Amino acid sequence: MTEPPLDPQETLGLSREQLPRHIAIIMDGNGRWAKKRDWPRIRGHEQGAKIVRTIVTHCARLHLETLTLYSFSTENWKRPPEEIEFLMGLYAQYLIAERDTVMDNNVRLIHIGRREGLPDNVLNEMDITVELSRKNTGLKLCLALNYGSRDEIVDTVRDLARDVQDGKLDPNDINEQLITNSLYTAGLPDPDLLIRTASEFRVSNFLLWQISYAELHICDKLWPEFSPEDLNIAIKEFASRDRRYGAVQTPTT
C-alpha cells in the first residue's frame, strides 16, 4: 500500500533544503536486543528486518534522495555458521516480501558490496528486485550486503590499475572525482548524515571514503527499537549543525 508523502515542514519543522540528501545507517544491536529478552539472536534479526521496512517507508515518504543500510559486512562472515545461514535466508525472504513495498513507494534498490560469496538464492532475489525497481524515481535504497569499505577501495584501485595497464587511463588523470566515480556508490551523493544505533562510536569499515564530511549521530537505542521518531530527531539535529567543510564562517556586519 502506498503511504502518503510527508511534508518536512509539518513533520520536522524543516524546509526540504534542510534535509540530508543521503542518510547512511549502521544498524547495530539486533543480537543484544534478543539477549535482553533471553531469546535467540535470530529473533533480533527478524525484528530488525521489520524496522528496516518502517524506516525505508518513512524515508520514502519524506522524499529523501538516498538511504544506505549497512546490512552485512565482510567481517560478519566470522559469525557462527548457523547464524549466517539464517541471515542469508532472511535476506532472500526480505527481498521477496518487500517487493510490493519497494514498488508502492517508488523505491529503487541498489546493491553495494561484493557478489562473490553470497548464496545464489540471495543474488537471484536481489537481482530480480534491483531490475524490477530500476526505473523507480524515488528513494534510492542502497543495501550494503557483503560490504567492506577497504574491499571497495581495493576493488576500485585494481580497476583503475587495469585501465592504466591497458592504456585506457593516464595515471596523471587519477584524481579524487575519478575515484569517487569508480566506487560502488558511483552516481550517488556522499552521505550527509551517518547514524549508528546501540551507542557504538565506530564506523566499522563503512563508506570510509564517502563519509569524509558526514555528520555523525549516535543513538542509544538498539536497532530493533529504532523508530521514525528517532530518525526525525537525527535529521533535526543534522539540520541544526553548522557545516563549514573546513572553511571559516565570515562574520556578517
Catalytic residue numbers read: 28, 76
Pairing of strands 66-73, 140-147: parallel
Q: Across the strands, what pairs with 216?
A: 194
Number of residues that this document lists for the chain: 253
Q: Rounded distance, CA 183 to CA 244, Å?
A: 25
**Distance from CA of residue 165 to its chain's centroid?**
33
| 3-class DSSP assignment, residue 111 | strand
Q: What does DSSP assign to residue 52? A: H
Grid cell listed for 196: 549508528
Q: Of 42, 126, 54, which is closest to residue 83 (Cα–Cα)?
A: 42
DSSP secondary structure of 62-92: TT-SEEEEEEEEGGGGGS-HHHHHHHHHHHH
Query: H/E element holding 47?
Result: helix 41-61
Q: Of 87, 193, 93, which is closest to residue 146 (Cα–Cα)?
A: 87
Q: Rounded distance, CA 111 to CA 244, Å?
A: 31
The runs of H, that is alpha helices, within 114-187 are 120-132, 149-165, 176-180
Pairing of strands 22-26, 215-218: unpaired
